[in-house]
A and B are shown apart, each in its own frame.
Chain A
């Protein structure tokens, strides 16, 4: 596939915020991003899956923080100076929610046209790709586009109430 620079993308271009997670680059629709903030202490919530790190106070609202590394089954990493929390708004059948995603580092905002996108490949049953919306090529790099709405409805938060 040929490289398509961001400037050449035409209609159907969507802007994504890309971030790094375990050496891979992921992207989320910029429209869902509420903000980016540095990693800070969270309040743990008892009896929740390990990828739920806890909750923080985001301008008066209680917002859960999800460790995306653990969520994706990657080995946990030490939180360093580049570790940030991307605050996103997700919409699912239970309404609108705000949550924070802990990632290794943010990289950039890029436009991805429809022609630069590919559907997610099927790796068989071993690897979960449910919340991968597709793959995009940005300046010869591969960016995994996430469907964060799916990410939540896949039971990230939903399953908790069954405790």
Chain B
């Protein structure tokens, strides 16, 4: 991974965690009986975004996990699968798993792949079961309670070569005793040399153990080679540990969870009460065996999974639950019990036997405290890492702050005015204080302004790599060009524009640009072109993603839309309207879904995000020759780099980005066209001159061209020279809407409040050019 990409990791993690919170909230809101389609869409989008992001950054484990999750969600979204408690539980667990995976990646620790694999397996099982459940709903519901138990255990054992502990072996297994008792554990921890290479840190584990109770550590240097033979990256040490405390074995094992498979580990109890065995344990063990069989032997999945469900009732009966309870248990979907039980053996394996490569399933009567404790400490660790000194603040708060600062500036300038006229012994000191205040004020204002602005390159710079990787993967040749990276925009806009752009760029690469051979066959150059442009235009921010690929096929889009019922069979739709259809949720024309794009969520999300910002998105289609997606965002949130200009008594702001140059010209270099329009030669072009004082009807300081300045500006692709009295300073200004309390004014895109509290209008150059053009024709 290059440095280039890693700088965006933080943003990705931040966004993902936030998205996961949202997904969790949506899941919790999800009504099992009548799930809200919008909620499912939201959940789906989160999974999709995380998938996209992690694929971009090369976190393949997360991408793969979210991909299967997405498949499940797609089934839910299409109503092919009902949202059951089991699925809802599974999804919530997946949220936890994704969070932990992200944390692990973030803190550069190994991912708990066992847990991920288990969850992924559960997900796939539900998907597989969709067919099975549909085929035989009746037998499942009326499955006989008692006979099922032995069968379940048998099939579980038969199904799993790994499930060592058969029901008979259960008495040997240790059940955990109540937590309160003090116990002494002897732990022999002998890591394999490659332990470090897997990212494990024995010191961390020892520290964690020390938190569980009083720890006595003895290091075994036996394997330490002579200094010459010492390989710094290998682990030669081994430890014998004695831990005293009210802990159960699962908690200890949890510490070594990540090192599992990279060490010889044995945990023995030195002093403890004899394990309490009863029917409950027996039954639970039987069930866990079945679980283990289900988890350990995927090829037997259907058998094991079915076995798992009927195995559940004995637990109830063993707990002396009412018979009705037991009878109702089998109706619970098999996946439910599988999913519920699964985290227990995975998270809390406990055994007195010497270590095995796979944890032996044993019973912990209190499986919860241990995992909870661990997840807490993980959270603490993660928050320590994730806390990179950035916080998220709502725009309103910053707006409020900015307004207050603006007021302060006015008060301060008023005081300065007063201070100048002050006389007396203390006046000099007063003036010094005022100067200090003024300086601090300016800094404060600058800082508040800076809080919000970032160049769009923040978002853009992740694309070259992404394009390259994707192009390589899809066997396409793509030349990627970006312009306008320095266009500054509001941080909130910036944050939200990232995802839509990723979607658009991915879409262009995946669906837009053809493979080289196809391009050649069409008479194009084998290399496709992809452009990403940003600019301030017409008082808006414009971001364009354009390619010279195949473009959109209106006929195909329409056919698809009709097939999906998005368009009635008799509705007539123009080509442009057909192109708009791609923004509808659940629309995708890709024949196969890939993990690049093609589930039809992309454009739906894009439009939603853009709309949230008060912007719009349109597509310009040129069938066979490419497509352009144009995102227009309003300025209300944005800040513009402005050049103050003076005309008479008035100051105006011209967006710096549209200024090409400023120059002074002589009266003689002007030419008149038909005695009216003035033009002058500028680098071989005749550029019309607009006298701003005429247009805005203000009294200028001078009407003589050589006493003022010509500012060459560009708008809507046309160049004009604005005749103004003077250029003042350049500054970044916050755009305030005139329309809130007033209305639209041609030639003005908004207003801003200057440092002295006065209002200056921001010119809308395309508007001015249009106005002037109209005026010229009208004359």
Chain A residues with CB below 8 A from B697, complex form: 46-47
Contact flag A57-B742 (CB < 8 Å), given A46-B696, A46-B697, A62-B737: no
- Judge whether B742 and A157 touch: CB under 8 Å: yes
Chain B residues with CB below 8 A from A128, complex form: none
Q: Is A141 an interface residue (CB 8 A)?
A: no
Q: How far is the CB of A154 from chain B (nearest CB, A)?
A: 14
- A88-115 Cβ-contact flags toward B at 8 Å (1 or 0): 0000000001110000000000000000
A46-B697, A47-B745 known; 18 new pairs, CB 8 Å cut-off, are A43-B650, A45-B742, A45-B748, A46-B698, A47-B696, A47-B746, A57-B406, A59-B407, A60-B753, A62-B737, A62-B738, A62-B742, A62-B759, A97-B740, A98-B741, A157-B743, A160-B745, A163-B746
Q: How far is the CB of B539 from chain A (nearest CB, A)?
A: 15
B760 interface neighbour in A43, A59, A157, Cβ under 8 Å? A43
Query: How far is A55 from B741 in the complex, measured between Cα atoms in Å?
Result: 10
Chain B residues with CB below 8 A from A98, complex form: 741
Q: Is B736 an interface residue (CB 8 A)?
A: yes
Chain B residues with CB below 8 A from A57, complex form: 406, 410, 753, 757-759
Contact flag A97-B741 (CB < 8 Å), given A43-B650, A46-B696: yes
Q: How far is the CB of A39 from chain B (nearest CB, A)?
A: 14
- Judge whether B753 and A55 touch: CB under 8 Å: no
Chain A residues with CB below 8 A from B759, complex form: 42-43, 54-57, 62
Q: How far is the CB of A35 from chain B (nearest CB, A)?
A: 14
Query: How far is A56 from B754 in the complex, measured between Cα atoms in Å?
Result: 11
Task: For chain A, give the interface size range.
Answer: 20 to 34
> For window 46-79 of chain A, which residues contact chain B by CB distance below 8 Å?
46-48, 54-57, 59-64
Chain A residues with CB below 8 A from B761, complex form: 43, 45-46
Q: How far is the CB of A141 from chain B (nearest CB, A)?
A: 32
Contact flag A59-B403 (CB < 8 Å), given A43-B758, A46-B697: yes
Query: How far is A44 from B741 in the complex, measured between Cα atoms in Å?
Result: 15
Q: How far is the CB of A47 from chain B (nearest CB, A)?
A: 7
- Judge whether B742 and A44 touch: CB under 8 Å: no
Q: Is A81 an interface residue (CB 8 A)?
A: no
Query: How far is A98 from B740 in the complex, measured between Cα atoms in Å?
Result: 8
From B403, B698, B742, name the one whose CB has the most chain A CB atoms within 10 angstroms.
B742
Q: How far is the CB of A88 from chain B (nearest CB, A)?
A: 11
- Judge whether B399 and A158 touch: CB under 8 Å: no
Q: Is A161 an interface residue (CB 8 A)?
A: yes
Contact flag A44-B650 (CB < 8 Å), given A60-B402, A62-B759: yes
11 A/B residue pairs, CB under 8 Å, sorted by A: A41-B758, A43-B758, A43-B759, A45-B748, A46-B698, A61-B740, A62-B741, A97-B742, A157-B743, A160-B743, A161-B744
B742 interface neighbour in A41, A47, A55, A59, Cβ under 8 Å? A55
Q: Is B313 an interface residue (CB 8 A)?
A: no
Q: Is B512 an interface residue (CB 8 A)?
A: no
> For window 597-651 of chain B, which residues contact chain A by CB distance below 8 Å?
650
Chain B residues with CB below 8 A from A56, complex form: 759
Q: Is B558 an interface residue (CB 8 A)?
A: no
Query: How far is A142 from B571 in the complex, measured between Cα atoms in Å?
Result: 64
Query: How far is A44 from B761 in the complex, measured between Cα atoms in Å?
Result: 9
Query: How far is A77 from B743 in the complex, measured between Cα atoms in Å?
Result: 27
Chain A residues with CB below 8 A from B410, complex form: 57
Q: How far is the CB of A95 from chain B (nearest CB, A)?
A: 9
Chain B residues with CB below 8 A from A158, complex form: 743
Query: How far is A43 from B649 in the complex, measured between Cα atoms in Å?
Result: 10
- Judge whether A61 and B736 touch: CB under 8 Å: yes
Chain A residues with CB below 8 A from B742, complex form: 45, 55, 62, 64, 97, 99, 157, 160
Query: How far is A125 from B741 in the complex, measured between Cα atoms in Å?
Result: 31
Contact flag A62-B746 (CB < 8 Å), given A44-B698, A46-B698, A97-B741: no
Q: Is B187 an interface residue (CB 8 A)?
A: no
- Judge whether A46 and B399 touch: CB under 8 Å: no
- Judge whether A62 and B740 touch: CB under 8 Å: yes
Q: Is B361 an interface residue (CB 8 A)?
A: no
- Judge whether B407 and A99 touch: CB under 8 Å: no
**Which are the 3 A-B pairs with shortest beta-carbon distances?**
A60-B403, A46-B696, A43-B759
Q: For residue A158, which residue of chain B has the nearest CB?
A: B743
Chain B residues with CB below 8 A from A43, complex form: 650, 751, 758-761
- Judge whether B406 and A46 touch: CB under 8 Å: no
- Judge whether A55 and B751 touch: CB under 8 Å: yes
Query: How far is A55 from B560 in the complex, measured between Cα atoms in Å?
Result: 52
Q: For residue B697, which residue of chain A has the nearest CB?
A: A46
A61 interface neighbour in B741, B748, B758, Cβ under 8 Å? B741
Chain B residues with CB below 8 A from A64, complex form: 741-742
- Judge whether B741 and A163 touch: CB under 8 Å: no
Q: For residue A54, which residue of chain B has the nearest CB?
A: B759
Q: For residue A43, which residue of chain B has the nearest CB?
A: B759
Query: How far is A81 from B335 in the complex, measured between Cα atoms in Å?
Result: 82
Q: Is B78 an interface residue (CB 8 A)?
A: no
> For window 359-408 of chain B, which residues contact chain A by CB distance below 8 Å?
399, 402-403, 406-407
- Judge whether A63 and B741 touch: CB under 8 Å: yes
- Judge whether A60 and B745 touch: CB under 8 Å: no
Chain B residues with CB below 8 A from A42, complex form: 759
Chain A residues with CB below 8 A from B402, complex form: 60
A60 interface neighbour in B407, B744, B747, B758, Cβ under 8 Å? B407
Q: Is B695 an interface residue (CB 8 A)?
A: yes
- Judge whether A46 and B745 touch: CB under 8 Å: yes
Chain B residues with CB below 8 A from A97, complex form: 740-742
- Judge whether A46 and B695 touch: CB under 8 Å: yes
